[in-house]
Amino acid sequence: MIRHLILSVYLLLAMLPAMKAVSIDGIRIESPHRKIVVLVDGQQICLPTFSCFVANLHGSYQVEVYEAPSHGENPRRGKLLYDERVHCSINEVKDILIPKDKRVSGNRGTSNHHKPGRPGDRPIEGQYERVMSPSAFEQFMGLMEKQNFDSDRKEVLDHALLTSWFTTDQCIRLMDFYRFDSEKKQLMKKIYPKIADKPNFYYAIEKLTFSSDKNEINAFIKQYHEKNN
């Protein structure tokens, strides 16, 4: 009996390192008030549900949460409730809670990691989505102000768009360089593909004067996403 007890204790002690090595990590999305569909890096990872857990995620991922659409429809047809890049570390669970009446805004959903705000934050971090930092943007604005002609400003902006992404707030400030909505619309169409916080872009659209111009930009954005989704 004692021999068996000693052997059991020995086996338990031998298993402790392995038990300690077992960990849970990933992203947990909770939506108590409505069913949702979750996409990670563009891939749907669950059927309509109130709770979703994605395990073994290490690194940076784009997480989109949509209100569950009608049966058989594209998951992106539902209302966008959350759209943010989330960094996952080993042995860490990221919690995302979708409130009852959540609409996409500056702080989309709530989670236990850094949430972008307005203005000047960097809502997306990644190798290919490099938002111009506040200090770099101020230098960029100074360079734009030094240009005497619109053609020169266009050349400076085109060069920046090759390597940098922008926030909606930065776009709004760039719009101030232009007097007419026709010029502002050209800027918005040019810069939109490189806007990091696209769900916030309606703030920029509201800076236009006429409904017809706002509708034109909304139609452009819809067409852009249809081609790129």
Instruction: Report the alpha-carbon distance of residue 31 to residue 51 in Å, rounded.
Output: 6
Q: pTM for the complete prediction?
A: 0.47
Stretch (H or E) spanning 68: none
The percent of the chain in helix, strand and coil, each rounded to the nearest 5, is: 40, 20, 40
The DSSP letter of residue 87 is E
What mean pLDDT, rounded, does the chain reach?
76
The pLDDT > 90 percentage for the chain reads 25
| Structural tokens at position 112 | 């236990």
Tokens, residue 88 = 């996952």
Please report how many Cα atoms fall inside a 13 Å half-sphere around the Cα of residue 159, on the Cβ side.
9
User: Which pLDDT band, with edges at 50, 70 and 90, does 111 fall under?
Assistant: very low
Task: Compute the distance between CA of residue 121 and CA of residue 184 in angstroms, rounded to an integer.
Answer: 23
**Above 70 in pLDDT, residue 30?**
yes
Does the pLDDT value for residue 127 go beyond 70? no
Mean pLDDT across the stretch 154-180? 90
Q: What is the dihedral of CA 161, 166, 168, 171, to 10 degrees?
A: -50
Closest CA to 61 of 132, 129, 137: 129
What pLDDT shows up at residue 189?
A: 96
Q: If you average pLDDT over residues 190-211, what whole number do you get?
A: 90
DSSP string across 157-198: HHHHHTT-BB-HHHHHHHHTT-SSHHHHHHHHHHHGGGBS-G
Q: What is the pLDDT of residues 51-106, one digit of tens each?
A: 888 887 777 788 888 888 766 556 566 788 888 888 877 777 888 888 876 554 43
Range among 88-97, 106-115, 121-130, 136-145 with highest mean pLDDT value: 136-145
> Alpha-carbon distance 200 to 192, whole Å?
11
Q: What is the dihedral of CA 7, 8, 9, 11, to 10 degrees?
A: 90
Query: Distances from the Cα of 162 to the Cαs of 135, 179, 197, in angstroms?
Result: 19, 25, 18
β-bridge partners, 166 = 195
